Structure 1
Amino acid sequence: MALPPKFAGQKLVSSAIQPATVHTLEIYLDYVCPFSAKMFKTIYTSPLRSHLLTTYPTSLQTIFRQQIQPWHPSSTLTHEAGIAVLQLAPPAKFLDFSAALFERQAEFFDANVVNETRNATYKRLAAIAGGVGVDEKGVYERLEISDRPGEDGGLNGGNGVTADVKVLVKMNRLVGVHVTPTVVLDGVVRGEVSSGWSVEQWEEWLKENIV
């Protein structure tokens, strides 16, 4: 869990680490949530992105937390694709992939995947990754589910990203996040933040809270 800078004295760190603690803004988003798409676009593809990087270059870090919403089965599949991109590509490509996927999120809503096989959905997700310069074949290889028993005879072996999915789910359960989007600042859920906020509203809120 993030630690507010005012409690930096609680940390045992080398004096070479400066600053010892920065503000941490965590944005919990789901790829098939329309409200998550709105917040992502405001934060990552508008002038707010530059504002975050230039106004708070050493005092704030922003983290996109992948939040799987299991009542939409394709939510798991889309987030698995995000993990495959993280495994394969430079960090910046994850945000490029996320932007492309949010633009096309309706293609993965329940009604648009219900008659599609799981691997067919994975192929479409891999193609989106390929469109932003990530190895499409490599993404699909990490996502594909075999229709044959594993070497141990098991039929429920998962895929190349299953272990990382488990880690992300464990991390999110620790803070009890449920709805998306959810904004957490320095370990505290900030329910006043809305997906409908403008850039100006975000800037004012940041000015009040990043001190």
Structure 2
Amino acid sequence: MTDAARHADPLTFGSGPRLFEIFLEPTCPFSCRAYGKVDALLAAAGVDKITVKLRFVSQPWHMLSGLLVRCILAASMLPGGKDTARKVLDAIAAHREEFEFDHHFGGPNLDATPRQIIDRLIAYSGVPLWDAYEARELEKEIKWHAKYSRQNGIHVSPTFMVDGLVQADLGSGDDVAKWAERLLG
């Protein structure tokens, strides 16, 4: 990887003036549900009317959270940038149980090494993560996500912000129409 390519591509979709930020933890079932609605939201509200930004809030009870956030952000440093990162997010969402501990503390992943987890993610996503995963520049991006979440008082996932304000009454179980109405209404 060349030095010029060593930056994380922002996970920003759409180009409209209304900003919808979604704070996700990759293995949280509610975050996976919210993430699965991003394309439908962009279609419903209009890519020229809203901008969706994916943010990450690593949560310690999801024990592989930090490792997987690093993998997602590493993928954004590869060719294809944010679209490559979405392949990794898609793989985690599709196989969520294989990247999480049973009841947050046990099960087969207790015996898995971080290398085995990353290799599993590479196999599911088709994204060769290792070179980017080892990039030192990634630390800055990971810390930025953590700091941004904390500065906005966000500790759980998913959390939603509209134009910089937390929307405590929006949830992953809401219809996309409710999200679109909040953004456009």
What's the TM-score once normalised by structure 1's chain length?
Answer: 0.69
Structure 1: give runs of 5+ residues left out of the alignment.
Answer: 1-18, 145-157
Matched, 1:70 2:60: yes
| 1:167 maps onto 2:167 in alignment | no
Root mean square deviation of aligned Cα: 2.4
* CA displacement 1:35-67 (0-9 Å, x = unmatched): 1111111223xx33312335xx0x421101122
Greater helix proportion: 1
- Secondary structure at the counterpart of residue 167 of structure 1: helix
The percent identity for this pair of structures is 27
Task: Tell which structure's C-alpha radius of gyration is larger.
Answer: 1
Contact 1:85–1:129 (Cα < 8 Å) also in 2:
no
Figure out how many residues of one structure are paired with residues of the other and give that number. 165
Distance 1:160 1:203, change over 3 A: closer
* 2-structure distance, mates of 1:124, 1:63: 26
> Is the aligned partner of 1:92 residue 2:83?
yes
Structure 2: stretches of 5+ with no match in the other structure: 1-14, 102-106
TM-score of the pair, normalised by structure 2: 0.78
1:181 counterpart (158, 165, 175):
158
One-letter amino acid of the structure 2 residue matched with residue 35 of structure 1: F
Contact 1:28 1:183 in 2 (8 A): yes
CA distance in structure 2 between the aligned counterparts of 1:98 and 1:179, rounded to whole angstroms:
18
Cα distance in 2 between the residues matched to 1:35 and 1:121: 21
Match of 1:11 in 2: none
Q: State how far apart, in whole Å, the 1-side matches of 2:137 and 2:131 are.
A: 8
Of 121, 133, 156, which aligns to 2:117? 121
Correspondence 1:89-168 to 2 at 5 A: 89-90=79-80, 91-110=82-101, 111-130=107-126, 134=127, 136=128, 139-143=129-133, 161-168=138-145
> 2:24 touches 2:54 (CA, 8 Å); kept in 1?
yes
